[in-house]
Amino acid sequence: MDRAKAEGYWKANISLIRNLLIIWAVVSYGFSILLVQPLNAINLGSVPLGFWFAHQGTIIVFVVLIFYYVAQMNRIDRQFDVDE
């Protein structure tokens, strides 16, 4: 396959990964650890929000991030004609 197409495909992959890993880091290290105290001032249901992220929410976000990545990559694979 030609070089320009390979580079375009890789760039699209990298930028998707970068965006999703920013969310990954903000939710896990940010909301659940660094910002847990201010977020605990807010309640979700009857649980402090920072605590909820640390024990529930972040794990759910992780699952969603992977399935979103899978769906997007399947699309990008077809778009650059590198799918299997």
Partner 1 sequence: MSVELWTWIVVLLSFGLYIGIGLWARVQETEGFYVAGRGVPPVANGMATAADWMSAASFISMAGLISTLGYDGTIYLMGWTGGYVLLAMLLAPYLRKFGKFTVPDFVGDRYYSQTARIVAVVAAVFVSFTYVIPQLVGVGTVFSRYLGVPSVTGLWIGVIITALFAVIGGMKGITWTQVAQYIILIIAYLIPGFAIAAILTGNPIPQLALTFSDIVPRLNQLQTDLGFAQYTQPFQGLSMLNVLMITACLMFGTAGLPHVIIRFYTTPTVRDARASAGWALLFIALLYTTAPAISVFARYNLINTLNGKSIEEVRQIDWVAKWEKTGLLRFVDKNNDGNLTIAKGRAFNFIPGTTRPDPNNPDTTSANEVFINNDIIVLSTPEVAQLAPFIIALVAAGGLAAALSTASGLLIVISSALSHDLYYRVINPKASEAQRLLIARIGILLAVLVAGYFGQNPPGFIAQLVAFAFGLAASSFFPAILLGIFDKRTTSQGAIAGMVVGLVFTAFYIIGTSYYGMPRFVFGISPEGIGTIGMLLNFAITIAVSRMTPEPPKEIQDLVESVRIPRGAKEGHYH
Residue ranges that bind partner 1, judged by CB under 8 A: 1, 6, 9-10, 13, 17, 20-21, 24, 28-29, 32-34, 36-37, 40, 44-48, 50-52, 54-56, 58-60, 62-63, 65-67, 69-70, 73-74, 77, 82-84
For residue 55, what are the contacts with CB-CB under 8 A and spacing of at least 6? none
Quote the least distance from Cβ 71 to partner 1, whole Å.
9
Quote the least distance from Cβ 1 to partner 1, whole Å.
7
DSSP state of 47: E
Q: Where are the beta strands (DSSP E) in 1-84?
A: 43-44, 47-48
Q: Please tell me the distance from the alpha carbon of residue 52 to that of residue 40, in angstroms, as a whole number.
A: 9
Quote the least distance from Cβ 83 to partner 1, whole Å.
6
